[in-house]
Chains A and B, each alone.
Chain A
Amino acid sequence: MNLSSVVVLVGIAADGWLIAFMSIRGRRPWLQATFAACALSFLVVGAWSVGRIEGLLSAVDDNLVLGLMLLTHALTAILVLGLIRGAALPRRRAATFLLLAPIPLLAYFAPIEGWTVATAYEGNVLGGFLVVCLGIALGETIYARQASPMFATHAFWLSLGVISLIVAGPIYTYELDFLGRTPLAGANLAAPLALACFARVALQTDPFPISPRPPKGRTTTGGIRAADAIVFDERHPKYALRTAEQEANSGRPTLIVARERAKITTSGVASAAFTPDQHAASRTLTTVSEFLASAPGGFVVLEDLADLSVLSGWRAVLEVVVRLRHVARDSGSTVVLCPSRLTESERKALKGLDLPWWPMADAATEIMAILAQSFGTGAGRLFDSFCRAHGIRRDDVTTDHIQALQDFLSRALTELSGVVGGPAAHGLQVQYEAAASVLRSFASQGAVEIARGKWASRRSSESDVDLVVTAADYWKGKEMEELFAAADAVSEREPLFEKARLVFVEQLGDAGEGVLRMQLARLGKKPEELDRIDLVRIADRATVDLGSLADVVDVPQEKERIQQQIESIRQKLELIAEGEG
């Protein structure tokens, strides 16, 4: 067998392996189909070439192979365009397939004009088309390498692939022709190398796995209708996640892309976690664009811009943001960007993009400001007592904790009512109710209202400090001091039952206390008799005893959520028991 035939056969085997590899590993059906078509056409042309050289396929129609050769070049250009531009323009990818349009025409004129596979690269219309296809692919890769910080590395591999095709294609054909040797009749020896380069880039830019897969065909607009990329400026991405839940609840396809998979149990919220490598930015872009291509009008939260910046570099992140803005506008979707933990210079650069910038209140700061309006400078002590009682950090407090905070303050006031006099207790109750009302109002606001509204912290900073008479001033500090002491006492002197009650109420709401009392009754204990061993026993039996709470639900996500709550109760009870030991 001829040496060139052996080389082409090895290449055919490599092409076949690459088709299988891409089919299994890839996550973009459009791109996989294009790759498979391109590789398959190279494979068939190679096989025909071997058959021709070895004298096995002399009867095969030369025009058919010429058509396939045209296809390899057009598909190479389409594949390269798809790899570079496909992520930003998923809904316009079909336009690149217009490159296939001249092929039937050229195939029709081939026998008339006497064009053959052996003379394909000669100076005629056919050769011109082939060169234009390879030229488009090469030009696009060179442009991407110069213009795109995110795509520079990928562009190198694509350039290598395209240049190898040019060298082993037209240049090698001219060389053989010049040396008077038999040309390879359409086969391109560099096809496996080029396809390997394309496959490498395809996998490096593949979307992250998304779970659960969003249902297709849902186009509810949700609460935020802007088809744009919006920056939610908040210290921690609390409103971004809360808004994602609300949008998903309203039936809008929703995706959260973050460093770690989002722990949101709302059905319809899909999540993707980016892997810690330098291609995280380009993969994030393809993840979001593929999601929005399949669910136009969707809602996406890109949670950790700072982490992306560390992994892929800030210039790449800026490019992702710009491209995502185009994707959001093209698909009528909303992309929320979370700039928390970005450096000042990065924030400045992000602001330079003129994106809608929504300042969001920080729940902990606002709660402090609201409490300060009623309880003066001691608000911090009250808030710290609450955080200590619930075992949470200030930074982790969200609007979801406001109900628990009200309950906590209410308990502190109840304890205090036996200590201070009637009018003072009444005054504190009035202050508490005023604070509770503002807290409830704050908790009920969504991201849109928060972005537009005046927050307690802003109002308090605007007011004239000298004219403010706080409750602490009014009550001469005495009773307020006692309130703070009562709050401290509530958090520190919690009897075991109270600690267990808080765990149950935190997970199960108002029903939690009743469920705990039922568990106690089963042990034949009263709340004040609860000891560490009982707590261990309740924790041990929680999965079985409380499991029936999940059994009665037939919505899988809700069942899972309740099971998580039960597991959380079990773990927290064990922690309390360990602490008591």
Chain B
Amino acid sequence: MNRVPTKMEGLDDVLGGGIPEGSVVLVSGAPGTMKTSLTYHILHENALDGVRGLYVSLEQSRASLVDHTEGLGYRLEDTGGNLSILDLGTLRKKLTGPTAQPWMDLFKLYTQGIRKSFDYRLLVLDSLDALEILAKFREPRRETFSLIHWLRDLHCTVFLLGELPTDSGPNGGARTAYARHKEEYLADGILHLRLARQGDFGMQRQLRVVKMRGTRHETGYHALVFDNGLKVTRILA
């Protein structure tokens, strides 16, 4: 089985070498858990090796996203054109009007159309929740199922970013649901990110591979730290 390396210190070991190619992976977590940075890291580092990636942003504009990621050291120009950002956030502001905009069709139009001239192998949709709101899913579960089915037919590795409410409890609590509409059953993999308390005042970002089909992976939480790039390490008590 071919795997897409995450190129993140520690995470590929947790995943047994990387993410199986062609998987649809749900990256869920509360705001501020670095979902965007994590997936951008994977796209950026693979792009440096010539693997093309498309980042579809429905929330942040390109300028804002590039500003944010360059602050973390991921320079877009270093990728030699192998990383493309589809700025649907800006389009959202421009396409205003009294009628409903065809966001789902537009998303499909772009992601399929771009493929003709930019054969990307990695796709990030930031975020599933934004698309759901914009496209006004009438039957969210059925339409999410249909979307994931469609994404699978793209034959590339897809990361869907999903928002979760901020965790409660002393250590974030033991979460049992990682998505709103049971996407966890449809996705091939789930990466859960959370902010866990450390001591009285500290917080630590943590990552857990909840599920990854076709992979023997570690199931516990690991610390997600940023130290000259993102790293996954064991949680020190």
The chain A residues found within 8 Å of chain B, CB to CB, are 245, 249-251, 265-267, 508-511, 513-515, 517-518, 520-522, 548-549, 551-555, 557-558, 561-562
* Contact, CB under 8 Å: A514 / B85: no
Quick one: closest B residue to A509, CB to CB? B109
Contact of A265 among B81, B109, B112, B116 (CB under 8 A): B116
Distance to closest chain A CB from B74 (angstroms): 15
* Contact, CB under 8 Å: B114 / A548: no
Contact of B102 among A266, A267, A514 (CB under 8 A): A514
Residue of B84, B90, B98, B102 with most partner-chain A CB within 10 A: B102
B97-141 CB mask vs A (1 if < 8 Å, else 0) is 111111001101110111111110000000000000000000000
B41 at the interface (CB under 8 A from A): no
Quick one: closest A residue to B107, CB to CB? A511
Quick one: closest A residue to B90, CB to CB? A552
Distance to closest chain B CB from A305 (angstroms): 27
Distance to closest chain A CB from B60 (angstroms): 12
* Contact, CB under 8 Å: A558 / B109: no
Quick one: closest B residue to A565, CB to CB? B113
B194 at the interface (CB under 8 A from A): no
| Distance of A245 Cα from B119 Cα, bound (Å) | 11
* Contact, CB under 8 Å: A552 / B117: no
* Contact, CB under 8 Å: A266 / B117: yes
Q: How many residues of B contact A (CB 8 A)?
A: 30
* Contact, CB under 8 Å: B116 / A552: no
Known: A511-B105, A514-B102, A517-B99. A249 touches B116 (CB 8 A): yes
| Distance of A561 Cα from B118 Cα, bound (Å) | 12
Q: A residues within 8 A CB of B90?
A: 548, 551-552
Contact of A514 among B91, B101, B110, B115 (CB under 8 A): B101
B44 at the interface (CB under 8 A from A): no
B211 at the interface (CB under 8 A from A): no
Q: Show 20 residue pairs from A and B whose CB-CB distance is below 8 angstroms, ordered by the A residue.
A: A267-B119, A509-B112, A510-B105, A511-B106, A514-B102, A514-B105, A514-B106, A515-B102, A521-B98, A551-B91, A552-B62, A552-B90, A552-B110, A553-B110, A554-B62, A554-B86, A558-B113, A561-B113, A561-B116, A562-B113
Q: B residues within 8 A CB of A555?
A: 81, 84, 114, 117-118
* Contact, CB under 8 Å: B118 / A557: yes
Contact of B117 among A265, A517, A551 (CB under 8 A): A265
Known A-B contacts: A249-B116, A511-B106, A555-B114. Give 14 more (CB < 8 A): A508-B109, A509-B112, A510-B109, A511-B105, A511-B108, A511-B109, A514-B102, A548-B90, A551-B91, A552-B62, A553-B114, A555-B84, A557-B118, A558-B117
Q: A residues within 8 A CB of B95?
A: 518, 548
B4-34 contacts to A (CB < 8 Å): none
* Contact, CB under 8 Å: A518 / B109: no
* Contact, CB under 8 Å: A249 / B119: yes
| Distance of A551 Cα from B2 Cα, bound (Å) | 35
* Contact, CB under 8 Å: A552 / B84: no
Distance to closest chain B CB from A40 (angstroms): 38
B87 at the interface (CB under 8 A from A): yes
B175 at the interface (CB under 8 A from A): no
B88 at the interface (CB under 8 A from A): yes
* Contact, CB under 8 Å: A553 / B116: no
Q: B residues within 8 A CB of A245?
A: 116
Quick one: closest B residue to A248, CB to CB? B119
| Distance of A510 Cα from B2 Cα, bound (Å) | 33
Quick one: closest B residue to A562, CB to CB? B113
Quick one: closest B residue to A559, CB to CB? B117
| Distance of A548 Cα from B94 Cα, bound (Å) | 7
Q: B residues within 8 A CB of A509?
A: 105, 108-109, 112
The chain B residues found within 8 Å of chain A, CB to CB, are 62, 81, 84-88, 90-91, 94-95, 97-102, 105-106, 108-110, 112-119
Q: A residues within 8 A CB of B81?
A: 555
Distance to closest chain A CB from B186 (angstroms): 22
Q: A residues within 8 A CB of B115?
A: 249
Q: A residues within 8 A CB of B113?
A: 558, 561-562
Q: B residues within 8 A CB of A514?
A: 99-102, 105-106
Q: A residues within 8 A CB of B119?
A: 249-251, 267
Which 3 pairs, one residue from A and one from B, show the smallest C-beta to C-beta distance?
A514-B102, A511-B105, A557-B117
| Distance of A515 Cα from B109 Cα, bound (Å) | 12
Distance to closest chain B CB from A217 (angstroms): 10
* Contact, CB under 8 Å: A552 / B109: no
| Distance of A552 Cα from B112 Cα, bound (Å) | 15
| Distance of A554 Cα from B106 Cα, bound (Å) | 16
Q: A residues within 8 A CB of B118?
A: 267, 555, 557-558
| Distance of A267 Cα from B119 Cα, bound (Å) | 9
* Contact, CB under 8 Å: A548 / B105: no
Q: A residues within 8 A CB of B84?
A: 553-555
Distance to closest chain B CB from A453 (angstroms): 22
* Contact, CB under 8 Å: B91 / A549: yes
* Contact, CB under 8 Å: B91 / A266: no
Q: B residues within 8 A CB of A561?
A: 113, 116-117
Q: A residues within 8 A CB of B106?
A: 511, 514-515
| Distance of A508 Cα from B101 Cα, bound (Å) | 14
Known: A552-B88, A553-B110, A554-B84. A513 touches B117 (CB 8 A): no
Q: A residues within 8 A CB of B94?
A: 548, 551
Q: B residues within 8 A CB of A522?
A: 97
Contact of B91 among A249, A520, A548 (CB under 8 A): A548
| Distance of A208 Cα from B84 Cα, bound (Å) | 32
* Contact, CB under 8 Å: A558 / B114: yes
Distance to closest chain B CB from A508 (angstroms): 6
| Distance of A249 Cα from B62 Cα, bound (Å) | 26
| Distance of A522 Cα from B94 Cα, bound (Å) | 13
Quick one: closest B residue to A505, CB to CB? B105
Q: B residues within 8 A CB of A554?
A: 62, 84-87
Quick one: closest B residue to A518, CB to CB? B97
Quick one: closest A residue to B110, CB to CB? A553
| Distance of A30 Cα from B115 Cα, bound (Å) | 36
| Distance of A520 Cα from B115 Cα, bound (Å) | 30
Q: B residues within 8 A CB of A520?
A: 99
| Distance of A143 Cα from B2 Cα, bound (Å) | 55
* Contact, CB under 8 Å: B102 / A513: yes
Distance to closest chain B CB from A503 (angstroms): 15
Known: A511-B106, A552-B86, A554-B62. A266 touches B100 (CB 8 A): no
Distance to closest chain A CB from B112 (angstroms): 8
Distance to closest chain A CB from B153 (angstroms): 12
Distance to closest chain A CB from B55 (angstroms): 10
Distance to closest chain B CB from A215 (angstroms): 10
| Distance of A549 Cα from B106 Cα, bound (Å) | 9
Distance to closest chain A CB from B97 (angstroms): 5
Q: B residues within 8 A CB of A266?
A: 116-117
